[in-house]
Copies of this chain bind each other. A is one copy, B any other.
Amino acid sequence: MATKSEKTREAILNTSYALFAEKGFKQVTMKDVCEATNMSRGGLYSHFSSTSLLFEALLQKITEKDALGFQERIEKKDSATAILEDTLNRMEDEMKHPEASLSLAMYEYAETVDSDLMERLNKDSEKKWKNLIRYGIDRGEFRDVNVSGIVNVILFSYQGVRMWSRIIPMKPETFRSIVDHVKNQLIGGWK
């Protein structure tokens, strides 16, 4: 069971997610977080002493949860096609919600605080996707594609959409067409 302190930490992370998605990284202050969480300065600082540490914990939480799901399913010998479809469906859902995109915040954080973390997260995503695709190829479920090519296309078209959908209106068909392109590459039949 989560302790009270863990629950508070979770609540801070959830609330600050919305702040970072809305304002980016640079414009969020610890005062904003205090106000949004209804916490005293002392209470908040006992969990996180800066917006950098808070943002890092948030990204860590999101990406760990994500990577764990992938790896567990591969270890359980789940179908590669099912993992791919679930993941692409989730990406498509995320693309439909630009207001929840952390892209600008990640960009500003990397620009003002530290780019190593973004580099590491990017490498982790790359590794995660490469593992899945090789797993699907090994099981004979996926076509024998160029793994790096498709992984870069997945990662960067997703990032491109997440960033630009914040400022220009995009249609659901755009997201769908990207997701279908990836499916078609790997399992065919979605032309």
Q: Hey, which bits of chain A sit against chain B, CB under 8 A?
A: 104, 107, 110-111, 115, 118-119, 122, 145-146, 148-150, 152-153, 155-161, 163-164, 166-169, 173-174, 177-178, 180-181, 184, 191
Q: Which residues of B contact A184 (CB under 8 A)?
A: 146, 149
Main secondary structure of the interface of A (DSSP, over half): helix
CB distance from A176 to the nearest CB of B (A): 9
- In this complex, what residue of B is CB-closest to A144? B191
The answer to whether B146 touches A177, judged by C-beta atoms less than 8 angstroms apart, is yes
Contacting residue for A173 out of B148, B159, B177, B178, CB 8 A? B148
Complex contact B104–A107 (CB within 8 A): yes
**A116 to B148, alpha carbons, bound, how many Å?**
35
How many angstroms between the C-alpha atoms of A177 and B111 in the bound complex?
A: 26
Q: A149-B180, A156-B178 are in contact. Are A163 and B119 (CB under 8 A)?
A: no
Instruction: Report the separation of the CA atoms of residues A160 and B118 in the bound assembly, to the nearest whole angstrom.
Output: 14
With A156-B157, A160-B156 as given contacts, are A150 and B107 in contact (CB-CB < 8 Å)? no
Contact of A177 among B119, B148, B191 (CB under 8 A): B148
Asked whether, in the complex, the Cβ of A181 is within 8 Å of the Cβ of B107, the reply is: no
Having A107-B167, A122-B168, one finds 12 other A-B pairs with CB under 8 Å, namely A107-B166, A115-B168, A122-B164, A146-B191, A148-B173, A149-B180, A150-B181, A152-B157, A153-B181, A156-B157, A156-B160, A156-B164
A–B complex contacts, Cβ < 8 Å, 30 sampled:
A107-B167, A110-B167, A110-B168, A115-B167, A118-B164, A118-B168, A146-B177, A146-B180, A146-B181, A146-B184, A148-B173, A148-B174, A149-B177, A149-B180, A149-B181, A150-B181, A152-B174, A152-B178, A152-B181, A153-B153, A153-B178, A153-B181, A155-B160, A156-B158, A156-B164, A157-B160, A158-B160, A160-B161, A160-B163, A163-B163
